[in-house]
Structure 1
Amino acid sequence: MQNKSYLIFSHNNCFYGLETLSVKEVFLLPEITAIAEMPDPIIGIINLRGNVLPVIDFNLRLGYQQQEYSLTDNLVVINSESSTVGIIVNQVYEVKEIPTTEIKIITEIYSQESQENHKLNLVAGIAKLEEKLITLLSTKNLIRYTEKLADFSIHDWNNTDDLVKENYLEKPQHQEYSKLIFCPNATPQERTIFQERAKNLRETQSEDFSNLIPLAVIGLNEEYFAMNLAVVKEFTNINKVTPIPCTPKHIFGNINLRGEIVTLLDIRGVLNMQTQTTTTQKNQALIFDLDDLVAGIIVDEIFDVIYLNPLDIKSIPAMINHSQAHSEYLLGTAIYREKMMSIINFHKIITNKELIVEEEI
C-alpha cells in the first residue's frame, strides 16, 4: 500500500492537508507589512531572511471575508516550482501518512463543469483520517497569484518605482483601506509580540533546521517555560471548564474540544509553583499527545514556537536548584526575550506518579 505525506492544519473548524514536500517551514504569525495594489488574497509581505515572502489570507483565498488574526495563528511557508508564499491558517497539527487508497481524487467527486469553478480548483481530493474528513489542497493552484513575485528580494522591492510595481502585479478590483492595517484591533501587548516575531524572522539566518530543537514557549505564573513541540497536538483558547468532583487539585477540569472531552492538568504544583484555581480571559490550553494519552495543560499564555540550538541550552543555575525542589523536571535553561526560560522535561512530568494520569480521571 502506498502512502502520501501531508501536513494537516485546521481553519474555521475544517481540516485541510498540504503535500509535505511543498512545505518549507511553519511558524507563528508575525506582523505583516501591507502593500497597496496587491491581488485580493495577498494581504502583504514579510521579510524572511532578506527575501520578500508574499502572504495569503486563507479565508480570502477561499472566497470568504477577512477575519481578525490571533497570536496562535500559524504561517505555513510553501513553494511550487519557482514560487514561495506564506499562508495564514488557524492551527497546524502534524504530518500524517495517508494511504492513497483513502484519497478520493477531485474528478471522482465533482463534474467537469464544477471543476471549472475558481474555488473548487483549490481542492485536489478528499481523505478520511481518524474519523475526520481532510480536504487536500493543490499547492500550485493555492499560490498561483504569487508567481510574479518569486524573484524579488526586499532590496529589489524597496528600490523599484511604483509604476513598475503596478505593472508587475495583477490589478485588484477594489482595495479596502482597512486591509492596509495589520490586525487593527490588536492590543499593544499583542502588537509587540507580532512585531518581535517579524524582527526575529528578518534577523534569523537561514540554517539547517535538522539539528535544532523545536520548542513551544508558554507562560506559567509570569515565567517563561518551553517544552518539546513533538508532543504538542494543538493550542486552543479556553471558553468553559467543567470541574471534576473528588479529583486531585492538579486536575483542573474538562473542556469540550470540537465534541471531544479533554481533561486539563495544572503542572504548576509539580514545578513547585502556586497552582491556579480559576481561569482568566488570557488562559489557554496546550493539548498534548504522549504515549497515546491525549490531555491538556492550562497555561497563562502561549507565546511562540522556536527552534533552539542545543548549544544554547545551559545547565540549571544553582539558585534554581536551591529554591526549586522539583528541578529534576527541568532539562536546562535558555535565553528568551532577554529573560531566562526553563526547558521542561515534559515526559517525566506527565509520567510522574503525583499526577496519577495513568489512572482513569
Structure 2
Amino acid sequence: MQSNVFAVFEVNGTSCALRTDEVAEFLPLPRLSRPPSLPRMIAGFLNLAGTAIPVIDMDALLGSSRDALAEPGPYAHLILTRPAAGQKTVALLVKRVSEVISSKEAPQPVSDDKTLNGCVSGIIEIGSRSVHILASERLLLEAERQELAALTAAAQVRLGEWHVTH
C-alpha cells in the first residue's frame, strides 16, 4: 500500500494538511510587500528571485476574525505550493508547519458539496485528532483566482520598476 505524506498545520484552531506533492517548499516568513487596499486574505507579496508570489493568509481565508495586518508569530511559515495545471504558484501563510507525517491509511473522502469550492478533499485521523486535507487548487474561487492574478501582475510590474542594474 502506498504511503501518503502530509504537511500538518493549524488554521483557526483546526488541524489541516496539504499533501506534500502539492508543496514545493517550506519557507521562514520573510518581509512581504503589502500595497494598500489588498483584500485581508492576502498577506502581501513575496519577492522570490524577482518573481512576485502572492501570499495567502490561511487564517483570514478560512474565516478568522483577527486583524489581517497583525504581525504573524515568530514561528510562522510560508508553504510555497506546487501549482496545478493552469494555475500559478502561491504561498500560504500559516502559524507554523507543526509536522510532516506519513500514513498508510488513505484519507476518508469529503464530498465536494460539504465545503466551499470542495477545498477539503479528505479527513485523516492522526492519534486522537482529525486532520482536514486541503486541496490547494480549490482554496480560492475562480473569481478570487482572477482577482489575485490581476493583483499579482500589478505587483510584478512594481517589482520590475525597482530592478536596479549595477
Which structure has the larger Rg?
1
Displacement of 1:2: 2.9
* Distance in 2 separating the partners of 1:23 and 1:150: 23
Q: What does residue range 287-306 of structure 1 map to in structure 2 within 5 Å?
A: none
Alignment counterpart, residue 71 of structure 1, candidates 74, 77, 85: 74
* Distance in 1 separating the partners of 2:127 and 2:83: 28
- Would you say the 8 A contact 1:11–1:91 is kept in 2? no
Which residue of structure 2 lines up, in the alignment, with residue 334 of structure 1? none
1:84 aligns with 2:85: no
* Distance in 2 separating the partners of 1:96 and 1:30: 25
Q: SS of the residue aligned with 2:21?
A: helix
**C-alpha distance 88-59 of structure 1, shift in aligned 2 (>3 A):** same
Which residue of structure 2 lines up, in the alignment, with residue 98 of structure 1? 103
**C-alpha distance 84-52 of structure 1, shift in aligned 2 (>3 A):** same
Mean CA deviation greater in 49-58 or 7-16: 7-16
Q: What does residue range 34-53 of structure 1 map to in structure 2 within 5 Å?
A: 34-53=34-53
**1:246-266 Cα shifts (integer Å, max 9, x gaps):** xxxxxxxxxxxxxxxxxxxxx
What stretches of structure 1 of length at least 5 have no aligned partner? 161-361
Displacement of 1:121: 2.7
* Distance in 2 separating the partners of 1:12 and 1:56: 14
1:127 aligns with 2:124: yes
Does 1 or 2 have the higher relative contact order (CA < 8 Å, sep 6+)? 2
* Distance in 2 separating the partners of 1:42 and 1:154: 12
* Distance in 2 separating the partners of 1:58 and 1:95: 18
How high is the TM-score relative to the length of structure 2?
0.75
Displacement of 1:87: 1.1
* Distance in 2 separating the partners of 1:58 and 1:48: 20
* Distance in 2 separating the partners of 1:156 and 1:136: 35
* Distance in 2 separating the partners of 1:152 and 1:40: 18
What stretches of structure 2 of length at least 5 have no aligned partner? 162-166
Q: SS of the residue aligned with 2:82?
A: strand
Q: SS of the residue aligned with 2:30?
A: coil
**1:130-181 Cα shifts (integer Å, max 9, x gaps):** 2221111011012554462698596534468xxxxxxxxxxxxxxxxxxxxx
Displacement of 1:46: 1.6
Q: SS of the residue aligned with 1:84?
A: coil
**C-alpha distance 100-25 of structure 1, shift in aligned 2 (>3 A):** same
Which residue of structure 2 lines up, in the alignment, with residue 136 of structure 1? 133
* Distance in 1 separating the partners of 2:132 and 2:4: 14
Which residue of structure 2 lines up, in the alignment, with residue 156 of structure 1? 157
**C-alpha distance 96-11 of structure 1, shift in aligned 2 (>3 A):** same
Residue type at the aligned position of 2:76: D
Aligned residues: 152
Displacement of 1:3: 2.5
**C-alpha distance 95-36 of structure 1, shift in aligned 2 (>3 A):** same
* Distance in 1 separating the partners of 2:123 and 2:64: 21
Displacement of 1:127: 0.5
**C-alpha distance 153-146 of structure 1, shift in aligned 2 (>3 A):** same
Q: Tell me the C-alpha RMSD between the 2 structures.
A: 2.8
* Distance in 1 separating the partners of 2:159 and 2:125: 45
Residue type at the aligned position of 1:141: R
Identity of aligned residues (%): 22
- Would you say the 8 A contact 1:85–1:143 is kept in 2? no
Displacement of 1:39: 4.0
**C-alpha distance 123-105 of structure 1, shift in aligned 2 (>3 A):** same
